[in-house]
Structure 1
Amino acid sequence: MTAISGPQDGPVAVTGASGFIGSHTVKNLVDAGYDVRACLRDASRDDKTAYLKAMHDAGPGTVSLHACDLMKASEGAYDEAFAACAAVFHVAADIGTDPAYGRPSPESMYDSLVTQTAGVLESARKAGTVRRVMYTSSTAAVMGPGAPDRPKDYEYTEDDWAGGSYETLDERYTRTNAEGEVVKAWTVQRSSYAKGKVDAERYGFEFGAKHGIDVISHCPCHVLGPLLGKPHDTVWQHRIGVFLSGSTDFPKQGMNWNIIDVRDIAEAQRLMAESSVASNGSRYMMVATD
């Protein structure tokens, strides 16, 4: 499938439009003149839509609000919003693994990542006009739990996958717990997110090849930058504050501390949609330079 050449090719849709990355993606597209369909769970909430409406007023592109429940993606929740769109930017994700965030188990979090992405892609296919889908994955899918041991100065690339490769992923993620039970990746707290992102990417690439849609993934690391919406305790501004306070509750988990500005992610996504170099299966790590 060919790239989109610009706003003249038709409207584009952004899932998770009220979120940190999603809102900046909408802004970048509007600034470039696109007519953007902003998809969010509740389009009636002022705290989730005021800044999106302000983007519409500022132009030169436009913003229309569409209520789409990600949890119902497999039921066609995005069908209407994607109709006649040239491209889809799938940013939304239900990422909580703790019951406090509404996810009862790592298994359900893994399932939601893969199932939701499949539903979004099916809505894009049914539209009949979508040329490209830009999927927001994560560096957890590149260097997450289960990745092969690497030298300290190893430089990861887009060819690396958490778990080593598609073929060894399940084997490397499988663990035996204290009771001697074999535990698969999607039942392990830390690895369910990484494996979910890997499998969603893989599914997307296969779906794109089958249906003639370019599915292009990008893998952001820790995302920093200005907030356009209401602060919440899962954005890195909050977590850095916790870190600087000296709290011992700050998550360690063997994380790599690479960062990127959210505005660079937004710009990169638009360029992926417009690029004649990118194609189905293209994968890009989103990491700032030193």
Structure 2
Amino acid sequence: MQTIDSSKPVCVTGASGYIASWIVKLLLERGFTVHATVRDSDKASSVAHLRKAAQGASGKLVLFDADLIKPGSFKAAIEGCELVIHTASPFVIRGFTDPYAALVRPAVEGTENVLDSCNAVQSVKRVVLTSSVASIYGDAIEILKVPGGIFTEQLWNNTSSEGHQPYSYSKVMAERKAWDICQEQSRWDLVTINPSLVMGPSLTTQTQSTSIDVMRDLGSGRQRTGVPMLEFGIVDVREVANAHILAGLNPKAEGRFILSAHTASLLQMAIVLRASYPEYPLPARQLPKFLVKLVAPIAAGVSREFVQKNVGYALRFDNSRSKDVLGVQYRPLTETLCDHFQQMIDDGLLKRR
């Protein structure tokens, strides 16, 4: 059990990202000095939201430049920190030709580089790693074989590869690398946060996330003819950010924590949103699986194998550890979805029909 000195700075890697920028904001509001790593601190558009979060906050923001695949580049930011929150990871779902170069290498080598620096800096006591439920399972069909029909922290994704679900593969390989490195030393301990689909308002228009793609597809009219029966675990970005801090500061926190508040299909999300946004062309029906399989490779750029293994299955996640150990309190699904949708409208990413 490690007790973290709250007067010491906290390092947050990938600080300009969707989840990380909320972590930075919450830490600053709670009076922490934050060593925030970004790719280019001189690029005003990518750090403006971090500087804004620091305005009026009782904490102090210090920016550092670091590169995931450059050994030693995180060491300066980690110096003097007892807690390191490692969120930096490549986020590309499509549009690449080499999944190893685009996803796997930077995720695994980036984790290795950050943890090597943690080994080199004597002050480090705890590392909190942003992982994913993609580290726990690869395809929804796996729910049929898990004990009790519910995904838990004891499970590992053994089905993803560079050729099938490469993003999920990058997450599980990075988390496995982190546990391997942790077990080779005894000075610092490791806690992982494994969120499902993260939704809720972003602090910047610059970030990429699957949730923005999901919302844009639902609200733009692109799916007005119907959606597949694709179910997601959903969790609010604000709960995920808070969980990282709770995991960092709670001496009893150890191991992995699934962060997932609700499960909902695309149609259920659309129904929730339509109640508040009837003027948007949200889908009103579910498409049969055979039709989805027929059109998915052309219309959505996903394989028939993905459709076969993910469409039509109901998901369940055990979030009890996050509530019992960390004390996470989850907000209603309606609040998460509507806050996210409204922010996308405000940012000009969605237009009325």
> SS where residue 2 of structure 2 aligns?
coil
| Partner Cα distance (1:78, 1:254) in 2 | 42
Is 1:139–1:219's contact at 8 Å kept on the other side of the alignment? yes
- Deviations, residues 53-83 of structure 1 (Å, cap 9, x unaligned): 12222221111111112232xx211011111
2: CA distance, partners of 1:94 / 1:269: 19
* 1:230 aligned to which of 165, 187, 205: 205
2:46·2:206 contact (CA, 8 Å) conserved in 1? no
Could you say if the C-alpha distance between residues 231 and 41 of structure 1 is closer, same or farther in structure 2, counting changes exceeding 3 Å?
closer
Indicate how the Cα distance of structure 1 residues 232 and 200 shifts in structure 2: closer, same or farther if over 3 A, else same.
closer
Provide the residue aligned with 1:195 in structure 2: 169
| Aligned pairs (5 A) from 1:1-290 | 2-5=2-5, 7-8=6-7, 10-72=8-70, 75-96=71-92, 98=94, 100=95, 103-108=96-101, 109-145=103-139, 148=142, 150=144, 154-163=149-158, 172-173=159-160, 185-186=161-162, 188-190=163-165, 192-212=166-186, 213-232=188-207, 234-247=209-222, 256-279=231-254, 282-289=255-262
- Classify the secondary structure of the residue corresponding to 1:159: coil
Deviation track 1:159-217 (CA, whole Å, cap 9, x = no partner) reads 11112xxxxxxxx55xxxxxxxxxxx23x141x22232222222212222222211111
Change (3 A) 1:95 1:253: farther
Contact 1:20/1:235, CA 8 A, preserved across alignment: no
- How does the TM-score come out when normalised to structure 2? 0.67
Q: Which runs of 5+ in 2 are unaligned?
A: 264-353
Query: Quick one: structure 1 residues 80 and 275, their matched pair in 2 at CA, closer, same or farther if it must change by over 3 Å?
Result: same
Distance 1:46 1:259, change over 3 A: same
Segment of structure 1 superposing worse, 234-243 or 19-28: 234-243
Q: Report the aligned-residue RMSD.
A: 2.6
Taking the aligned partners of 2:48 and 2:34, their CA distance within structure 1 comes to: 15
Secondary structure at the counterpart of residue 217 of structure 1: strand
Cα distance in 1 between the residues matched to 2:119 and 2:141: 33
Aligned to 2:332: none
Distance 2:4 2:231 in 1: 34
Partners of 1:64 and 1:253 in 2: how far apart?
Answer: 45
TM-score (norm 1): 0.81
Aligned to 1:168: none
Letter of the aligned partner of 2:170 in structure 1?
A: G
CA contact (8 A) 2:81 2:124 kept: yes
User: In structure 1, how many angstroms separate the alpha carbons of the residues matched to 2:145 and 2:109?
Assistant: 35
Identity of aligned residues (%): 29
TM-superposed deviation, 1:234: 3.2
Unmatched tracts of structure 1, length 5 or more: 164-171, 174-184
